[in-house]
Structure 1
Amino acid sequence: MGAPRIIIRVDSQVAAGQIDKSFQARHQELAKYLAAFQKVEAHFKGMSVRIILRSKTADADTLAKAAANNKLLPAHVLYEVLHGSAVQDTDPDATSAPVTAITTTSDWRGPIMDILSGRSEGSFGMEVQWLRQKVRGYVPFKGVLYKMGVCALQLRCISREQGAQLLKEIHEGHYGTHLAPRALAGKMLRHGLYWPTIMSDVERLVRLCQGCQWMG
């Protein structure tokens, strides 16, 4: 559009801090998004970031929650399903890895990838049949599993361990935000990340957080 300078409005203190360089992207997933932003930043002479009130993002929060629960939206709501991540891995090994690379016995993504790749053909157990119904909301891309979302939102599936580490960094790290459970879960979804136990993990983190108990 030819605009030399832009103003970015976000409701995330973490995102704003990374954009204005007051925060560091310490986690690998967040660092990828920051690197992608920095490539775009080079095309402008200047940009500034402003934090908007959460009350102004109610519609976006509703869409994020709908994406997390794979719910249907009203007919008048327009959305697009992307079959690839908005942020691609720059590591050659990561982009060329086969689908089987993330299949492990303890990783929740493994059985889903097995079904999507056809490795479970011939299996008729109750668990397999149930999973075949659930995988309709997922798509593999270059060895990485994504959950199909709404409003052009593609959620990258991560392990529960990765999610727990991210939650800890954002909730009680040097950011010190101490968000409520739903706000923290919504933040993860807006960062494009997903794992099925995200809500229960968030609630447990907040329940055990001494800082939250003190503030509450």
Structure 2
Amino acid sequence: MEKLAYALILASCKLRPYFQAHKIEVRTSFPLRQVLHKPKASGRIMEWVVELGQFDIEYKPRTTIKGQALADFIREFPPTFEVEGMECVPEPQPPIAIPENCSPWWNLYVDGAVNGNGAGAGIVLVSPEGHKLQSSIHFDFKAINNDGEYEALIAGLKLALEMKVENMNVYSDSMLVVWHIRGGFQARGPCTDLYMRYAQELIGKFKEIKLEQIPRSENADADALAKLGIQRDAHMLGVIPLKIQYQPSIPKIEVVDVEVEESNFWTTPFQEYIANGTLPTYKDEARKLRYKAAQYVIYDGVLYKRGFNRPLLRCVTGIRCEYIIREVHEGICGNHSGVPPSLTKFSVKATTGLPSTKTLMPSPRPVTAAKDLIGKLPKGKGGVKYVVVEVDYFTKWAEVGAGSFRRDNYDPENNEVNHRLYLDLIEEVRDTAQLRLAAYQQTTRKYFDKKVRARPLKMGNLVLRKMMPNMRVPAHGAIGAKWEGPYIIKTVLWEGTYHLTDMDGRLMSRAWNAQHLKRYY
């Protein structure tokens, strides 16, 4: 299996532009996907999983050639061979005798049409002798194109049942309806599913039916009847009967509001991708999910994350997650739980009197804290005079050559364990950094926006228009004019969009945005 995974890695390296631009299907009869996502993957297998996670790869079983395909090929192209100069061919088969009591075949052509005037259907039933039974239907209810096609098919099947037809060829120009009935397409929507089930129920009442799709040009008679049915004009139809249908053939769907407990958590996308290979619709989200999913595995139906310390970290959600957090901060472990040193932050406090003591949660490793008092300072906001500074290490104050607590108590093994623990929390650190960056950008934008004074353009103002690349004269080069005008603002379509006229009053061909205009004085 490692050789197969290594071959896939080599293919991704040599064909990287194709792997990055397209969705890749890996056809194999080996459980390659299960091997790459197994919980005990380690070493180079784990590295390959991370490297392949950036591509859109889908693993599918290799299809087999059915034996019937070979039999059909031999039947269509019988073998010929020569024996001592003579060409031998298989003996011709005698014609198959058709029993006299065999039911004849009828032909049914159906078509539905929907436009702004309404909906209608056309039906043409042709007997084995060539006689045509034509019918036109007007639907006196709201319908879409697919509903009209299904209603036409259902009405045609009902007409054939009334004529005691047993064997029939059904022709329709709707590819969707034909492949719904055949099972090639999946019905989407409750109404479409009901139409499909009802049509299949009617088809089951016949002895044999063949449903085929034909071009619209070959279904011209049924199409013309459907369009005449929309107009609801019996005089144009002549002897052809016009039927008015007031209700759909399927029962009306009643929508009931049901309260469903929310079950989509942050772990749901990872579980669906690892178990079924389901990816989000958007390409960026799908790529991010594939990259992160390499660190997760499902073991006994539970989602785990591979830690850098090698144990599997169980992922919890919902009520269980709330219970754990509550127990850590408020329960029996509330006063004894340690926090990583990265969570013991540098603190600066301003007080009005004597310095107050800051309470720190115990850390899993020794932490040396230094406290200092700065002041007396000029009175600040709230009458504060002193500043208490608290730092958790003396490292910055150590002299060259002198020992320190950090150096004297350094343990390589414990340091490596803590380093791997921080790597497990790297995603949380990145999320926190992104939130801080967004908050800083919003604060900066708000500060500078306070100094901006809006000067909107008004009707009658003179402005200059920016010269677009297709408007410039190539011969002028870099010294060519970048603004032209002046122009007069004639109308304000909405804020930031204007209609312009030149100094002679001629209106410009289109509206212009404020970012391409500037005031002319």
TM-score normalised by length of structure 2: 0.16
TM-score normalised by length of structure 1: 0.35
Which protein shows a greater Rg? 2
The structure richer in helix per residue is 1
